[in-house]
Chain A
Amino acid sequence: MSTQRVRAVVRKEMSEFRRNRLVIGTMALTPLVFLSIPMLTIFTVPASTSPSQAKAAVGVVSLLLFIVPVVLPPVIAAYSVVGERDQGTLEPLLTAPIQASELLLGKATAMFMPSVGLAYAIYLVVVASIRFGAVQVVRNVAFHPPQLLAQLLFTPLLALWAIWVGIAFSTRASDVRVAQQLATLASVPLLGFTSLISFQLITPSIPLAIAFALALLAIDIVGWRVCSRLFDPERLLTGASAHSPLSREPRTNSPSVR
């Protein structure tokens, strides 16, 4: 694993994002629109409301905040490999001295930063709005420390999971649009898990949040390894998978399939 090569990929991807700011700009729009209605609901909750009603209102906002890191990255992650092929840049990349695991880690890191940055920025806006605009009973529910910790820890880990799902589809799909749709769809099951926490059906505690975070981290590492193995240059370039004994990538010291 060469950190220099990973850094080179990250720099290149970030430069491309900078040159195409609309990619990131439009990513932020959807969650902002979706969050606006539940936020208005929270601000209109009267001071006399019961804690269970406040919990339901906060739960909707919390769920949407969890959705942000899950639904934002697949759109750009799904483009990552099949997009390179469509714009004709894949072949020079495949003939360059970089392993699949390094290339994908660089791409995932570059996507991770704007996705998580946006998710945290939206989260901060929501938290500040609740702090200064919502009634006390809502603030009491919203500022539950384990819930805040879960939100802070899960946001990057869920984003990373969604990125690997997007990349996995990108390495196998024949079309960018198919990859984007499948990647978004495949991220939906995560919402079930986040709903349990958002609506406090699983009462989050600090140890539980940390345990779930560690489990997500392990899943993310497995995701990276799986994506690296799914990355088949021959399939990407020719549409045919390598069957020759010579096509097998060394398994001893590299997770790469190249």
Chain B
Amino acid sequence: MTRAEASSVLVVEGLSKRFGDRLAVSEVSFSLDAGEVFGFLGPNGAGKTTTVRMLATVIAPTSGSAIVAGIPLDPVNGLEIRQRIAVMPENPGLYLRLTVAENLEFFAGLHGLADPWGRIGQALEAVNLAGRVNDPCGSLSKGLRQRVALARALLSDPTILFLDEPTSGLDPVATREVHELIDGLRDRGVTVFLTTHRLEEAERLCDRVAILSTSLRTIGRPDELRDRFFAKALIVRTAAPLPDPDRVFAVPGIESWRADDTARYVLSVSDARTAAPEVTRALVAAGADLLSLSEDRHSLEDVYLELVNDDVEAQR
């Protein structure tokens, strides 16, 4: 075990899962540090949920290995691993005839918590649901049910919290509430493994992301991935086409340029922060009427589409 692995709460090595002839997950390797919010992105059917289920010891990997919360992934250790982790599936999976308290009491009993009602109170406080403790879960909105499911996942104070598509099917208000709760978990130092296909969610919440499409396509911080996959560029818009753009853009830091409209120019730069003032000065010196100058910012979505579209095309 390397020193990096020693500080990791989750180490996955070449994990694969095959259902009959179909390869669901292929040779996935990554690791998670304590306190990290890790995004696991991919289109539907990419193998995200299958990976979570394997790590939660619910389904068995076909090959590969993992150390989950310090324990080797092995059927013999299933119970011990499940004591140290929590999974919030896409469907909250609450007993709708039972109250919020009864649902949580049941899972507190399964975890063998020493002070179940103390923990239930803390978990409900964490998700701002302390006032709904006696409400039947069937009477709650989808967003509130999601919060109860999150409280259930927090009951045992898990080393790793797996959130599988936590905002799936929620309206924007409920989605924002869940995002705030995940932000709160990060502040409390909880390690979160978040699977999602909502890229803005991953970009906003995650320290690092991995993009999965059966196999792992890339992994890194969102800004790192943008830099890795897209050249840095400045977008210049002027009121009229420049008479001699070659001369205007012959400034330090500009590697090349192209006009993608009559008065819109895309400049490839090595460092946008140092090139932008130079370009501004050159445009002013050339007497150009500058309308805007901005950095061409690629989103995580661009990275995702760049990686995943190839697979989708290949499958067609």
Q: A: which residues have CB within 8 A of B? A: 2, 4-5, 7-9, 11-12, 15-16, 19-20, 87-99, 233-234, 237-238, 240, 242-244, 246-250, 258
Contact = CB atoms under 8 A, between A and B. Distances in A.
Contacts of A94: 56, 58
Interface in B59-109: 59-63, 73-76, 78-80, 82-83, 85-89, 91-98, 102, 105-109
A95 B56 contact: yes
Nearest to B77: A250
Given A234-B59, A247-B75, A250-B75, A5 B98 contact: no
B91 A91 contact: yes
A20 B96 CA distance: 11
Given A92-B93, A96-B111, A99-B79, A15 B102 contact: yes
Given A96-B111, A237-B53, A247-B60, A90 B93 contact: yes
For A5, A19, A90, A249, the residue with the greatest tally of chain B CB atoms inside 10 Å of its CB is: A19
16 contacts: A5-B110, A11-B105, A15-B102, A19-B136, A89-B95, A90-B93, A91-B91, A92-B149, A95-B86, A95-B87, A97-B83, A97-B112, A99-B79, A237-B59, A244-B61, A249-B75
A99 B85 CA distance: 15
B60 A91 contact: no
Contacts of A238: 19, 59
A150 to B, nearest CB: 37
Contacts of A92: 87-89, 93, 107, 149, 152
A45 B96 CA distance: 51
Interface in B245-271: none
A4 B102 CA distance: 16
B97 A95 contact: no
B111 A89 contact: no
A93 B82 CA distance: 11
Contacts of B105: 8, 11
Given A91-B89, A92-B152, A97 B75 contact: no
A91 B53 CA distance: 9
Contacts of B152: 92
Nearest to A99: B79
Given A91-B93, A237-B53, A250-B75, 7 more contacts: A8-B109, A16-B97, A16-B98, A95-B82, A95-B89, A97-B112, A233-B59
Contact of B60 (A5, A99, A242): A242
A96 B109 CA distance: 10
B20 interface: yes
B214 interface: no
B75 A12 contact: no
Contacts of A7: 109
A240 to B, nearest CB: 5
B111 A244 contact: no
B59 A88 contact: no
Contacts of A20: 97
Interface residues of B, number: 45
B57 A258 contact: yes
Contacts of B76: 250
Contacts of A11: 105-106, 109
A174 B108 CA distance: 29
A89 B149 CA distance: 11
Contacts of B107: 92, 96
Contacts of A88: 91-93
Nearest to A2: B112
Nearest to A254: B79
B128 to A, nearest CB: 21
A19 B78 CA distance: 33
Sorted nearest first, the 5 A-B pairs with minimum C-beta distance are: A8-B109, A247-B60, A19-B97, A95-B87, A92-B93
Nearest to A250: B76
A222 B19 CA distance: 31
A240 B89 contact: no
A7 B112 CA distance: 11
A1 to B, nearest CB: 11
A7 B109 CA distance: 8
A93 B106 CA distance: 10
Given A16-B97, A248-B75, A97 B111 contact: yes
Given A7-B109, A16-B95, A237-B59, A96 B75 contact: no
A97 B95 contact: no
Contact of B82 (A16, A87, A97, A240): A97
A237 B75 contact: no
A89 B148 CA distance: 13
Contacts of B91: 88, 91
A97 B110 contact: yes
A5 B106 CA distance: 9
B98 A15 contact: yes
Contact of B110 (A15, A89, A98, A248): A98
A247 B53 CA distance: 13
